Amino acid sequence: MRTAQKRFEMEREQQEYAPRYSLRERIRHAIVGVGCVSIFFAFWQWWALPQWSEFARTAHCRTVLGFAGSSVMLYVVFVAVPLAIAISLGAFMVPAALRSIRARQYPPPGQKVHGKVRIRTGRIAVVSAAGDLALIAAFVGIALWGSQQPRQILEQAQPKRDATCSGVRSESPKAIASLDGEAMREGTLSAGGTR
């Protein structure tokens, strides 16, 4: 009698909860996730951030593919970053959300999960899947809103080009640093490095 009741409870739990990854799969996903985050953090910390900081320091003096460096910098912050987040999340979330909406079940049938997740059906499943799509749409909306911001900011800002910018476009970062050093001695560059 107890085995029949236990089997019934297990079948009911399998019907109520989404299938879970095995312990081995969860450990593998954790190792891969930590590895990817570590690689990204190392890349950001030791290469991308120093490059970005150097570019930002002299952006008003540079051009990138014919565009002013300051506008490139603003478009990266206001448009490229939100779009990159939307594409990264969307690659995983959109297919699952569309399957959930079609099946009216969240998480979609057959999708494994890491934790104990109760299966939702009907309207609540569609709303949950639509919430995932809304998150992606929010980042796309931020990018669309952000596409207008650099133009407005640049129209309000006065060009900050001075004698230290002459020749910066074609010179190396070392030459830029030496120009900034000369400007610092002459008093045309503030101690904070802003112009």
Residue 46, both tokens = 């030791």
State the pLDDT at residue 191. Answer: 41
State the pLDDT at residue 16. Answer: 86
Instruction: Find the mean pLDDT for residues 140-161.
Output: 82
Share of residues in the chain with pLDDT > 70 (%): 73
State the pLDDT at residue 192. Answer: 42
Higher per-residue pLDDT: 19 or 183: 19
Residue 195, both tokens = 């112009």
180 dihedral zone (left: phi>0; alpha: psi -120 to 50; beta): alpha
Higher per-residue pLDDT: 15 or 52: 52
Which stretches of 76-172 are DSSP H helices?
Answer: 81-103, 123-146, 149-156
Residue 28 has pLDDT above 80, yes or no: yes
State the pLDDT at residue 170. Answer: 40
Instruction: Find the mean pLDDT for residues 38-66.
Output: 88
State the pLDDT at residue 185. Answer: 43
∠ CA 167-171-173, rounded to 5°? 125
pLDDT band at 143 (very low <50, low <70, confident <90, very high): very high
Higher per-residue pLDDT: 143 or 169: 143
| 65-121 pLDDT, tens digit each | 888 888 888 899 999 999 999 999 999 999 999 999 999 999 999 899 998 889 999
State the pLDDT at residue 66. Answer: 81
In this prediction the pTM is 0.68
| 166-195 pLDDT, tens digit each | 555 543 444 444 444 444 444 444 444 444
State the pLDDT at residue 184. Answer: 42
Distances (CA, A) of 104 to 36, 156, 164: 33, 50, 62
Buried b (16+ CB within 10 A) or exposed e, 146-167: beeebeeeeeeeeeeeeebbee
Q: What is the dihedral of CA 143, 147, 148, 151, to 10 degrees?
A: 150
pLDDT band at 159 (very low <50, low <70, confident <90, very high): low
State the pLDDT at residue 65. Answer: 85
Report which of 121, 129, 124, 134 is spatially closest to residue 101, judged by C-alpha positions: 129
